[in-house]
A and B are shown apart, each in its own frame.
Chain A
Amino acid sequence: MTDIPYDKPRVVRFRLPLGFLSDLLHGAMHLVDLVVVPVQRRLGTQRMAYFFVLPNLLIFAVFILLPMLLNFYYAFTGGSALYPQDRPFVGTDNFEALFNCQNVFSPNPTTCQEDIFWRAVLNTGTFVVFQVGGMVLFALVTALALNRKIRWRGFFRSVFFYPVLLSPVVVALIWKWILQRDGLLNALLIAFGSDRIQFLLDPNWARFWVIFVSIWAQMGFYTLILLAGLQSIPAELYESAQIDGASSWNRFRYVTLPLLMPTLLVVVVLSLIRAVQVFDQAFALTGGGPGTATTYVVQYIYNTGFTSTSRQAGLAAAASVVLAGVLMLLTVTQLRLGRRAEVEET
């Protein structure tokens, strides 16, 4: 064992060191096979697909689809009862209540029945634009930096990815600890001769930090996806561009960007879906405040349907139906746009 050459590249292979477990697994799989073979005989090869899809679909149907359907029904009922059969049917009252607003761009309790909902919609809109924009930008810059031939690449890659592993509650706790009145950031500000800033008291600062922290926590994931996209661009393209005398900006503009487009599209769609659903981390950081400055749509739904004194589950469900509709629309439009862009290029 001692004669491993000093400079031999070591290949790290991922193997579960639990031999008996893998034996066990094989045995179990074999047993399953005994059961499945007769099934296959009856179904035929192609229809075995149903067998494979079934378990996943079953869990899905019971724990996600069924609640979604129930939720849809809730949207047309009122009261605070839990069981659908105990809830009075109210038609589209809940939707009318939500949309009963004279000016959705400056929601006010005197002109808007559900003014908080519209505030939440506006807040979510702002959040989505800046968070997705900022995150895609930083993830792209970071991916470009990590794609260069540099030292400690693996280290940097890991550091940027690490926050992805943290729970939203913990992320919020970490940053609250830094941003609070007597926190680290204010100590630094004062040390450099500046005044103390109550970061979570000023609406604009609070909005900024919610966006910043969510970029901080999620960026690493998208960076890695973009990095993979960058590494799949053939090096010859850059070489020939260099031979043609293209500047580095032009190489980025005419080689990198077009070829990265499909990956970029995935990143935008995924981050957009997540951004529209912003809730737990922001809620744990600011509690939706100051006032309602960082109250987002999902928090409105959660508060109205689950934590308000008189659970207005119907109203909450109506809002969630609106939310899901908007998300579908956004995703479909984006995929359409993306497909059209691809078609035009080819």
Chain B
Amino acid sequence: MKQHRLLILLVVLLTVLTVTLVAAQDAVELRITWYNDGNEGEVLRELLDRFEADNPGITVVLDDIGYADPNVYHSTIQAQVEAGDPPDLARVNNVALFIGDYLDLRPLVKDATYYETSFSEAVLNSLRAGENDTGIYGFPLQFTITAPFINRTLFEQAGIEVPSDTRDDVTWDEWAEAAKQVADATGTPFAIAYEPRGHRFWGFVISEGGSWFDEEGNFKVDSPGFRTAAEKLIGWNQNGLSDATIWANLPDGPSLARDQFTNGQVVFLYSGSFAVGGLANAIGDTFDWSAVPNPSGPGGSTGSPGGSLLVAFAGTKHPEEVARLMDFLTQEEVLAEFSQRSSFLPGHLGLAEKGLDYEANADVLKVLSAEIPKIHEQAYRLQYSEYAFTYNRPIDNRLSQVIVGDLTLDDAIIAIQQDVDEAIKNAQAG
């Protein structure tokens, strides 16, 4: 008798387990692999709620897997794509990684020409497999421009003019000097925090007169401009203008740099437009801050362009629903709201031209928008190359070694070139 009872119990238990493990799926569920720089996830969620209300039977889930390391983020998606189990959509920056695995939206969306006229051709091309490929695989969620931010309250306390308030072109040395004076006068621990990412370094090198390509158009790191920029960066770290920990501990570096700025521990931060929402949120009312134009040099004044894209993967089981979602999200009003509330620069050409009425951080974003036309052609070439990310990591890895004294700058230059060449060779091997 007892055995019977046990048997029943067992069966019940097993059934419960199976029912919980095998979740029933009636409605179409779209999944977006995602990360957050600021509040954009919350904004998008609200927009998606509206989409779901208009399209009963479709639910959209945001999977925030964190962006602590950009390469881990992309490797995770890459592994899923290769294994034939990709998310339906994803927010990605390293778009070259998935070329050939994207879903072509051209036959699925309502109006393909709208995509072609609304988004930059360079961006759409960066998703394509070659010149004959005319597919539409995604769209830019935001446009990024790297630029400096300053703590204006510290300038005011020190009684020092903000250089760019009175002049157009301010050199890196002038900024460094001004920031140092402010830091000294106000007892702020550091003058400059430079986000330790190779990408943030592209523009710096170009404005110091450097070039990133040789005559045949191949990536070449060694140039007088690279040396000048690198020596400046190394100098700030050695002279105590910067906290060398930022470059010494690369994984934590970017958040450490921004934490120092939001905590009022540094006068001048080099970051990018993607950070505005997060900075504003963390700073709140504790001090006044703003973006300032990129410093200039013999090569002009330029930041590095960038931005993240929302792409669709061919492995999806619901291509039509994905296209419907894309059509919804790319609408001008929707993108306008998304950009405004997330404090993002729009990737939509029409919106960029019109300009947006930002509710918050309007002044900061105005300065940043003005930086876009100044972007150097080489900076675009780096960003929209299929090896954009390959030109990134070796630079910060090796400069980090120079800053802590592991390598000389000469050896670092050789090493960056080797690392990039080796990675390209490996990528081409298949």
Contacts and interface: CB of A to CB of B under 8 A. Distances in A.
Q: Do chains A and B touch in the complex (CB under 8 A)?
A: yes
Contact of A201 (B6, B245, B424, B427): B245
A302 B17 CA distance: 36
Interface string A7-49: 0000000000000000110111011000000000000000000
Given A289-B400, A309-B94, A309-B389, A200 B427 contact: no
A31 B245 contact: no
Nearest to B394: A309
Q: A27, A81, A82: which has the most chain B beta carbons within 10 Å?
A: A27
A293 interface: yes
Contacts of B3: 27, 30
A310 B424 contact: yes
B112 interface: no
A287 B426 contact: no
A200 B414 contact: no
A291 B403 contact: yes
Interface of B: 2-3, 6-7, 9-10, 13, 69, 71-72, 75, 78-79, 82-83, 94, 243-245, 248-253, 389-390, 392-393, 398, 400-401, 403-407, 411-412, 414-415, 418, 422-424, 426-427, 429-430
B423 A287 contact: no
30 contacts: A23-B6, A24-B13, A27-B10, A28-B6, A31-B10, A78-B430, A79-B426, A80-B430, A81-B430, A83-B82, A108-B407, A109-B398, A109-B418, A110-B414, A181-B245, A201-B244, A283-B251, A287-B253, A289-B249, A289-B250, A289-B400, A291-B400, A291-B401, A291-B406, A293-B404, A307-B69, A307-B75, A309-B423, A310-B390, A310-B427
A308 interface: yes
Contacts of A109: 398, 407, 411-412, 414-415, 418
A78 B429 contact: yes
A81 B418 CA distance: 21
Nearest to A109: B415
Interface in A289-330: 289-293, 306-312
B245 A308 contact: no
Nearest to B265: A182
Interface in A72-104: 78-83, 86-88
Given A307-B69, A307-B72, A308-B423, A31 B248 contact: no
Nearest to A28: B10
A289 B94 CA distance: 25
Interface residues of A, number: 43
Contacts, number: 125
A198 interface: yes
A181 B252 CA distance: 13
B249 A115 contact: no
B82 A82 contact: yes
A234 B369 CA distance: 80
A83 B78 CA distance: 12
Nearest to B13: A24
A261 to B, nearest CB: 41
Q: Is the interface of A mostly helix, strand, loop or mixed?
A: loop
A286 interface: yes
A286 B248 CA distance: 9
B249 A287 contact: yes
Contacts of B78: 311
A163 interface: no
Contacts of A308: 71, 393, 423
Contacts of B401: 291-292
A203 interface: yes
Q: B10, B83, B251, B253: which has the most chain A beta carbons within 10 Å?
A: B251
Contacts of A79: 426, 429-430
A181 B423 contact: no
B198 to A, nearest CB: 10
A86 B430 CA distance: 8
A312 B10 contact: no
Contacts of A31: 7, 10
B430 A309 contact: no
A203 B407 CA distance: 13
A43 B25 CA distance: 45
Contacts of B72: 306-307
Contacts of A28: 6, 10
Contact of A80 (B250, B406, B427): B427
Nearest first, the 7 closest Cβ-Cβ pairs linking A and B are A27-B6, A109-B415, A290-B248, A291-B404, A287-B251, A79-B429, A310-B423
A81 B82 contact: yes
Contacts of B252: 287
A255 B208 CA distance: 72
Interface string A244-256: 0000000000000
Nearest to A97: B422
A195 to B, nearest CB: 13
B429 A24 contact: no
Contacts of B418: 109, 113
A8 B248 CA distance: 61
Contacts of B253: 287
B75 A311 contact: yes
Contact of B430 (A23, A87, A113, A181): A87
A80 B99 CA distance: 14
Contacts of A289: 248-250, 400, 404
A304 B404 CA distance: 22
Contacts of B6: 23-24, 26-28
